[in-house]
Amino acid sequence: MTGTAPAESPIRLTPDVRAALAARRPVVALETSVLAQGLPIPHNREAARRMLGAVARHAGVGAFTAVVDGVPALGLDDAELERFLARDGITKVSARDLAPTIAARRSGATTVAGTLALIATTEVTVFATGGIGGVHREGPFDESADLFELATTPAVVVCAGAKSILDLSATVERLETLGVPVVGYRTREFPAFFSATSGLPLSVSVDAVGEVREIVKAHRALGRRQAVLVVQQPPDEHALPAALIDDAVARALLEARDRGVRGPAVTPFLLAAVERATGGRSLTTNLALLEANADLAARIAAALLT
């Protein structure tokens, strides 16, 4: 796809995003829920800086998605980004929340689902995040809207698998059912976000960005409407032992149940509880993998332009 966003797209693009698209330089969409709900202050600022920096190193532009005072946006200016980092009055916006947030002229930070729904109307197709949402472990039934949007948006999503707070096996099964290709980049297992391995084998694993490109091209040639999910392990030096995370998650789940945490509050609550339980080590891992995913996404976006 070439040119600027379709005339009918309601999404506001920042001048740097517009210029990058016009010059056929890589543009990578980035979600803001990880900044406004997922990571604590001041680490969310470091995450934003490192993700934008990783894309810039490949001559590309990282574009945070959000709803800003009722305007759906791809790319934020500095003052806007500050508001999302400060988190004040910023709600979590999944796909279902987009229209109501826009209509009420409010501001919200987009999840993976919200981001996919926004970029679907633009020509930006590559998106980097930390981990996707998925099937939660315990009842009552909770499955992230991320899975539905991944099933219906032909983007390339780069992540470190799904968070270990989830039922990873059920999440991988759902991705299969929904027809979402899951491509391991230098890994043969579905990564478990904070830890490198989950014990869940992948059906396809590649070693080079060019191979991702071939898969994406074949997928698009078929007119498939699903995303291609590219997964990589968290960087070696920061990956945490699976046992440490399992233990932290088990305790976090009990705490969530005790406190009756429900709905959109579940994921942020569990992430914060894991952070406490690992003495902040999960935070270091989270920042490192966000940067690594933005870097890989920029390289994929560049390859797709060739």
- The residue ranges that bind Mn ion (CB under 5 A) are 142
Q: Exactly one of 31, 80, 149, 275 is catalytic; name it.
A: 31
Is there binding between residue 171 and ligand PSU (CB under 6 A)? no
Q: Which is nearer to ligand PSU, 26 or 264 (CB)?
A: 264
Is there binding between residue 153 and ligand PSU (CB under 6 A)? no
DSSP 14: P
Q: How far is the CB of 208 from ligand PSU (least distance, A)?
A: 26
Binding span for ligand PSU by CB under 6 A among 97-105, 128-136, 169-177, 207-215: 128-136
With a CB cutoff of 8 Å and minimum separation 6, the contacts of 194 are 163, 164, 234, 239, 240, 245, 274, 278, 282, 285, 286
Binds ligand PSU by CB under 6 A, chosen from 26, 37, 238, 299: 37
Q: How far is the CB of 71 from ligand PSU (least distance, A)?
A: 20
Q: Does the annotation count 217 as an active-site position?
A: no
**Which residue blocks in the chain are alpha helix, DSSP H?**
15-22, 33, 43-56, 78-86, 98-103, 112-119, 145-152, 168-177, 209-221, 242-259, 266-277, 281-304
Q: Which is nearer to ligand PSU, 26 or 130 (CB)?
A: 130
* DSSP character string of 136-176: BSSSS--B-HHHHHHHH---EEEESBB-TTB-HHHHHHHHH
Number of residues counted as binding ligand PSU (CB under 6 A): 20
Is there binding between residue 191 and ligand PSU (CB under 6 A)? no
Q: Does the annotation count 214 as an active-site position?
A: no
216's contact among ligand PSU, Mn ion, none, with CB below 5 to 8 A by partner kind, is: none
Q: Which is nearer to ligand PSU, 125 or 282 (CB)?
A: 282
Is there binding between residue 295 and ligand PSU (CB under 6 A)? no
Measured on CA atoms in the order 244, 232, 49, 45, is the torsion positive or negative?
A: negative
**What whole-number distance in Å separates Cα of residue 131 and Cα of residue 162?**
5
Binds ligand PSU by CB under 6 A, chosen from 158, 271, 277, 298: 271
**What whole-number distance in Å separates Cα of residue 111 and Cα of residue 132?**
9
Kindly list the catalytic residues: 31, 163
